[in-house]
């Protein structure tokens, strides 16, 4: 019996597209003072990673929910890679997850729950790349453990890939990537699309207070 | 008669076209694609739509058809 034979490969083309504008990005509220300094330093030049508000909320809420039962949370980052002025950047548009085999120091997908994960991928509603993964360290701080580094090296070994680590107990978040053999931190911004603005499509007018003779102020 | 399928790497978006025999297993497909992209085959799972394709199943048993598109999905582990 012959093994499978590869006949050819087709790669994606990286599209030129400007990143989210300054008025639609913010630092994550759980950044440390030092990370916030780094964020501000890069604000003008742009970031290598932009995480949507929706994806950030899902990751944070997942991590908080699992911290309440002293367990780690985990999922995949879905997005795409773009180029702007010769520089590549990644957009994380959404995240997907499924049931987990999890403890306070270890996490992986439940072996019987892949179909739930695949349903989420089918229903993502956009062409995606798995641009990395997220997981939580409830109460242990944000760093890459030896297991995390092994995962990064065996699965996410391109510098485009990101590992987001969240500690919901200490309210910390950090993003990491593999640069050759070294793990480095990556500054990132939270962005929101125009349609995610709560006042999108409406004009908010200042209303004047009317004095109503029939309205009597409540007395104590 | 050999089958031709496409396997998409979910991490890079790249797709390989692959020729298979009915007796090839899902593990053969994962190893072939992961090997081509220099990845650790044991750290991936393969999907056909919403369905997980199991390692020891043959192509025929898994119901893989000519021109099917499968996707290689990373299966991370955190600590």
Distance separating alpha carbons of residues A135 and A9, to the nearest angstrom: 32
Is A33 part of any domain?
Answer: yes
A87-96/B15-20 β-pairing: unpaired
Question: Which chain B residues have a beta carbon less than 8 Å from that of A109?
Answer: 75-76
Distance separating alpha carbons of residues B55 and B61, to the nearest angstrom: 11
Domain that residue A52 falls in: 15-193
Residue among A151, A142, A173 nearest A61 (CA): A173
Per-residue pLDDT tens over the stretch B18-50: 999 989 999 999 999 999 999 999 999 999 999
Question: For residue A71, what is the domain's CATH number?
Answer: 3.40.140.10
| Chain B CB within 8 Å of residue A48 CB | no
Residue among B36, B13, B42, B46 nearest A4 (CA): B36
What is the number of domains present in chain A? 1
Specify whether the CB–CB gap between A161 and A134 falls below 8 A: no
In this prediction, residue B57 has a pLDDT band, given cuts at 50, 70 and 90, of very high
Cβ neighbours of B3 (radius 10 Å): 18
Which of A3, A4, A148 is the mutation pick for testing B, counting most B CBs within 10 A?
A: A4
Is A5 part of any domain?
Answer: no
pLDDT given for residue A140 in this prediction: 97
Across the A/B interface, how many CB contacts are shorter than 8 Å? 132
- State the Cα torsion A115-B13-A159-A32 to the nearest 10°: -50
pLDDT given for residue A91 in this prediction: 98
The domain over range B3-74 is classified in CATH as 3.50.50.60: no
Question: Which chain B residues have a beta carbon less than 8 Å from that of A130?
Answer: 10-11, 73-74
pLDDT given for residue A194 in this prediction: 80
- Does the structure's ipTM exceed the value 0.90? yes
**R_g over Cα of chain B:** 12
pLDDT given for residue A214 in this prediction: 64
A74-84/A129-136 β-pairing: antiparallel
Does the beta-carbon distance from B79 to A107 stay under 8 Å? yes
Residue A22 CB-half CA count within 13 A: 7
pLDDT < 70 stretches in chain A: 1, 198-220
Is A213 part of any domain?
Answer: no
Distance separating alpha carbons of residues A52 and A49, to the nearest angstrom: 10
**Hey, what are A64's tokens?**
């908080």
Selecting from A5, A115, A155 the residue whose C-beta is nearest the C-beta of B52 gives A115
pLDDT given for residue A26 in this prediction: 95
pLDDT given for residue A44 in this prediction: 86
Q: Which residue has the tokens 């006949």?
A: A7
Cβ neighbours of A177 (radius 10 Å): 23
| DSSP letter assigned to residue B68 | -
Is A206 part of any domain?
Answer: no
Is A139 part of any domain?
Answer: yes
pLDDT given for residue A198 in this prediction: 65
Does the beta-carbon distance from B78 to A115 stay under 8 Å? no
Question: Which chain A residues have a beta carbon less than 8 Å from that of B16?
Answer: 6-10
Predicted TM-score of the model (pTM)? 0.91
Does the beta-carbon distance from A155 to B16 stay under 8 Å? no
Question: Which chain A residues have a beta carbon less than 8 Å from that of B51?
Answer: 115, 118
Selecting from B13, B36, B76 the residue whose C-beta is nearest the C-beta of A155 gives B76
Is A185 part of any domain?
Answer: yes
Selecting from B15, B32, B78 the residue whose C-beta is nearest the C-beta of A151 gives B78
The CA distance from A2 to the nearest CA of chain B, in Å, is: 7
| Chain B CB within 8 Å of residue A120 CB | no
Is A7 part of any domain?
Answer: no
Sorted by sequence, the CB contacts under 8 Å of residue A20 that are 6+ apart come out as: A50, A189, A191, A192
Question: Which chain A residues have a beta carbon less than 8 Å from that of B36?
Answer: 6, 9
The CA distance from B61 to the nearest CA of chain A, in Å, is: 16
Least CA distance to B23: which residue of chain A? A1
């Amino acid at each position: 019996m012959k093994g499978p034979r590869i006949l050819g490969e087709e790669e994606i083309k990286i599209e030129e597209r400007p990143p989210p504008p300054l008025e639609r990005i913010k630092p994550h509220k759980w950044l440390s003072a030092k990370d916030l300094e780094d964020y501000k330093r890069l604000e003008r030049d742009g970031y290598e990673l932009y995480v949507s508000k929706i994806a950030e909320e899902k990751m944070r809420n997942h991590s908080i929910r699992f911290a309440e039962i002293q367990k780690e949370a985990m999922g995949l980052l879905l997005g795409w890679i773009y180029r702007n002025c010769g520089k590549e950047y990644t957009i994380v548009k959404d995240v997907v997850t499924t049931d987990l085999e999890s403890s306070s120091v270890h996490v992986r997908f439940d072996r019987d729950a892949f179909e739930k994960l695949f349903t989420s991928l089918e229903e993502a509603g956009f062409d995606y790349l798995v641009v990395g993964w997220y997981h939580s360290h409830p109460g242990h701080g944000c760093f890459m453990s030896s297991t995390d580094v092994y995962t990064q090296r065996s699965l996410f070994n391109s510098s485009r890939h990101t590992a987001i680590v969240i500690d919901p107990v200490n309210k910390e978040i950090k993003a990491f990537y593999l640069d050759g053999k070294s793990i480095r931190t990556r500054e990132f911004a939270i962005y929101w699309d125009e349609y995610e603005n709560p006042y999108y499509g409406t004009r908010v007018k200042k209303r004047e207070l009317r004095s109503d003779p029939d309205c009597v102020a409540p007395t104590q | 008669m050999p089958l031709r399928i496409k396997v998409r790497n979910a991490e890079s978006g790249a797709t390989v076209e692959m020729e298979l025999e009915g007796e090839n297993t899902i593990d053969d497909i994962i190893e072939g694609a992961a090997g081509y992209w220099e990845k650790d085959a044991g750290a991936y799972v393969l999907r056909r739509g919403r369905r997980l394709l199991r390692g020891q199943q043959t192509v025929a048993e898994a119901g893989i058809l000519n021109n099917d598109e499968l996707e290689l999905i990373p299966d991370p582990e955190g600590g």
